[in-house]
Amino acid sequence: MKSTDVRHREHAIDPGGWRATPGILALCSSIALAISLPPLHFSAAIWIAPLGWLTIIRTPGLAGKRPYLKIWAANFAFWLVYLWGIRNAHIALYAGWLALAAYVAIYVPMFIGLTRYLVHRRGLPLLLAAPAIWVLTEITRGHLFSGFAVGLLGHALVEKTWLIQIADLGGSYAVSGMIVVVATATLEFLFPVQRSTTARGMFLAVAIATVLASLGYSAWTIGRLEQSPSIAAVGSRDEASKSISAPAADPSAPEGDADRSRPRLRIALVQESLDTVFDGDPERSVEMFRKYRDATRALCEQESELDLVVWPESAFTANIPDQLLDDAAALNPPPGFEDRRREYQEFVKARNAEGPRKAASVARVVNPQESGRAFLIAGSDTIDYRSEPYRIYNSALLVNPQGEVAGRYFKQHPVMFGEYVPFAEQLPWLARITPIGAGIAAGKRAEAFSIQGFWVAPSICFESTVPHLIRRQVKQLVSEGKSPDVLINLTNDGWFWGSSILDMHFHCAVFRAVENRRPVLIAANTGISGWIDASGKVVARAERRRAASIVASISPSRHETVYTQLGDLGLIAVAFIALVAGTCFARYRAPASVSR
Burial tier of 212 (Cβ tally within 10 Å: 0-12, 13-18, 19+): exposed
Q: What is the DSSP letter of 253?
A: S
Beta-carbon count within 10 A of 186 CB: 19
pLDDT at 279: 67
Task: Identify which of 484, 531, 492, 494 has the alpha carbon closest to the alpha carbon of residue 509.
Answer: 531
Give me the residues paired with residue 524 across strands. 491
pLDDT at 583: 94
pLDDT at 227: 79
Amino acid at 501: I
Which H/E stretch holds residue 10?
helix 2-10
Instruction: From first to last of the 596 residues of the chain, give the pLDDT tens digit.
Output: 444 443 443 344 455 444 579 999 999 999 999 999 999 999 999 999 999 999 999 998 888 889 999 999 999 999 999 999 988 877 878 888 999 999 999 999 999 999 999 999 999 999 999 999 999 999 999 999 888 999 999 999 999 999 999 999 999 999 999 999 999 999 999 998 766 788 889 999 999 999 999 999 999 999 988 876 554 444 555 543 343 333 334 433 434 444 445 678 999 999 999 998 876 678 899 999 999 999 999 999 988 889 999 999 999 999 999 999 888 777 888 777 777 888 888 888 889 899 999 999 999 999 998 878 999 999 999 999 888 878 899 999 999 999 999 999 999 998 776 666 666 666 666 656 565 556 788 999 999 999 999 999 999 999 999 999 999 999 999 999 999 999 999 999 998 999 999 999 999 999 999 999 999 999 999 999 999 999 999 999 999 999 999 999 998 777 889 999 999 999 999 999 999 999 998 888 766 554 44
Beta carbons within 8 Å of 249's beta carbon, 6+ residues apart: 232, 259, 260, 261, 262, 264, 553
> d(Cα 400, Cα 402) in Å, to the nearest integer?
5
Q: What are phi and psi of 52, to 5 degrees?
A: -65, -45
229-556 CATH: 3.60.110.10
Amino acid at 495: W
> d(Cα 519, Cα 512) in Å, to the nearest integer?
9
> d(Cα 516, Cα 560) in Å, to the nearest integer?
7
CB 446 within 8 A of CB 457: yes
| pTM of this structure | 0.88
Domain definitions of the chain by residue range: 2-224+566-595, 229-556
> d(Cα 107, Cα 114) in Å, to the nearest integer?
10
User: Quick one: angle between helices 467-479 and 167-190, nearest 10?
Assistant: 150
* Beta pairing, strands 405-410 & 322-324: unpaired
Q: How far is CA 132 from CA 45, 54, 290, 571, 581, in A?
A: 21, 13, 51, 9, 11
Beta carbons within 8 Å of 166's beta carbon, 6+ residues apart: 174, 175, 178, 214, 217, 218
Q: Write the DSSP string, 112-133.
A: HHHHHIIIIIS---HHHHHHHH
CB 14 within 8 A of CB 63: no
CB 39 within 8 A of CB 23: no
Task: Identify which of 473, 477, 509 has the alpha carbon closest to the alpha carbon of residue 491.
Answer: 509
Beta-carbon count within 10 A of 331 CB: 18
Amino acid at 362: V
CB 300 within 8 A of CB 306: yes
**Positive or negative, the Cα torsion across 492, 496, 498, 500?**
negative
Please report, in angstroms and rounded to a whole number, the separation of the first and last CA atoms in the chain: 14
Which H/E stretch holds residue 492?
strand 486-492
Q: What are phi and psi of 456, to 5 degrees?
A: -115, 120
User: Quick one: angle between helices 126-143 and 167-190, nearest 10?
Assistant: 140
Burial tier of 34 (Cβ tally within 10 Å: 0-12, 13-18, 19+): buried
Q: What is the dihedral of CA 161, 165, 166, 167, to 10 degrees?
A: 90
Beta-carbon count within 10 A of 242 CB: 14
Instruction: Calculate ∠ Cα 81-83-86, nearest 5°.
Output: 130
